[in-house]
């Protein structure tokens, strides 16, 4: 939890990020290999004048400052994973960045916290967050009594 709190603190302190809002924290079984600790998931919304690519770079800088490396197995253990889920109503599809995040519509561990912040938000080419959540099973997700 301390790592999540520290990451949000870094976003709040960034001079180009404002109006940072956070969902509750959710605990889920890990994606991929199950021989790792459960994941803690949350969604953060913010306003920024940064481009999507510059924001991604800033998120990766925060990850690295928290010990993140990208040399392990996919979906393996990591200290911090900050995904850029949405960027206003933009659609971006490049080798470096895909927005909306490719798995957003099928991942209840993303949709549940996102629905706390913006249930009527439209995910481009997918539909509203609340409708997408209705199509996902939230089994195995536990909302913690923690906020960021």
DSSP 8-state secondary structure symbol assigned to residue 127 = E
Q: Which two tokens stand for residue 127?
A: 């539909």
Give the integer Cα–Cα distance in Å for 40 and 42. 7
Active site residue: 16, 38, 71, 78, which one?
Answer: 78
Mapped onto helix, strand or coil, the DSSP state of residue 17 is strand
- Is-contact 9 48, C-beta < 8 A? no
Q: Given the residues 81, 89, 134, 142, select the one marked as catalytic.
A: 81
Active site residue 68: yes
16 part of the active site: no
142 catalytic residue (yes or no): no
Nearest to 105 by CA among 96, 115, 93, 92: 115
Is residue 78 part of the annotated active site? The answer reads: yes
Residue positions annotated with a catalytic role: 68, 78, 81, 83
């Amino acid at each position: 939890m301390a790592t999540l709190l520290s990451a949000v603190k870094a976003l709040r302190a960034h001079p180009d990020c404002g109006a940072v809002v956070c969902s509750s924290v959710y605990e889920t079984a890990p994606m991929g290999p199950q021989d790792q600790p459960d994941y803690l998931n949350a969604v953060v919304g913010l306003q920024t004048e940064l481009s999507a690519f510059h924001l991604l770079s800033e998120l990766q800088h925060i990850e690295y400052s928290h010990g993140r490396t990208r040399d392990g197995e996919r979906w393996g253990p990591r200290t911090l994973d900050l995904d850029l889920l949405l960027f206003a109503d933009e659609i971006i599809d490049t080798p470096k960045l895909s927005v909306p995040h490719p798995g957003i519509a099928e991942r209840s561990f993303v949709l549940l916290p996102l629905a706390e912040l913006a249930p009527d938000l439209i995910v481009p080419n997918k539909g509203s967050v609340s409708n997408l959540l209705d199509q996902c099973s939230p089994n195995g997700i536990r909302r913690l009594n923690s906020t960021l």
